[in-house]
Amino acid sequence: MSSTPFVVVGLGNPGPKYARTLHNLGFHVVDELARRWKATAFSEKFKGEFVKVTSPPCAPGRDVILFKPQTYMNLSGDAVQPLCAFFKIDVATDLVILVDDLDTPKGTLRLRLSGGTGGHNGLLSVGDRLGTDAYPRLRLGIGRHPHMAADQYVLSQIPKADDSVYLNQTLEAAEAVELCLTQGVSKAMNTVNVRKTTP
């Protein structure tokens, strides 16, 4: 059993203006995990909102850190790197980044052990500050808008018509994180990447 915590980071932008935007789906999953694990209130640490959960139901005996950087998306690494350094996290095995993804179909999930940024500025910042792209990430698919530019689309509000799609995605993403804790990311991929989320 690892003595270091497992770190779950949801990427997003701080403040009510961005709360319901597609770019903040990572925050939504962290909040869902905090709810289901009955976490205490988040506190301000490491330039983000931080809470440590001891022995969540899916991982008895393990500490899990839930974290939402408050640096704005493009500087996410400025929060993630100090946190990982402080707790001596092996980012290849004990970290998962939750991130919206234009190139994954809307409502679906893709779990990866490593990879490129796909043009995502949050992942670009995290990889730059960690000095590696070899860290797991759970991509929360939003697809691409047929008419809207990507930078406008990711900062747009979730349409009411898609509420059920993204709620379901949030719940399945929380379950995917729990699988990462119980099985390890490699095995969890076998389950997560074949699921089809439905409204």
Cα 32 from Cα 80, distance rounded (Å) = 20
Q: Cβ neighbours of residue 37 under 8 Å, at least 6 residues apart? A: 53, 56, 57, 64
Instruction: Clarify whether 23 is annotated catalytic.
Output: yes
Q: Is 152 exposed, middle or buried (0-12, 13-18, 19+ CB in 10 A)?
A: exposed
In the set 23, 28, 120, 147, the catalytic residue is 23
140 and 29 Cβ atoms separated by less than 8 Å = yes
Q: Cβ neighbours of residue 188 under 8 Å, at least 6 residues apart? A: 111, 176, 179, 180
Which residues form the catalytic set? 23
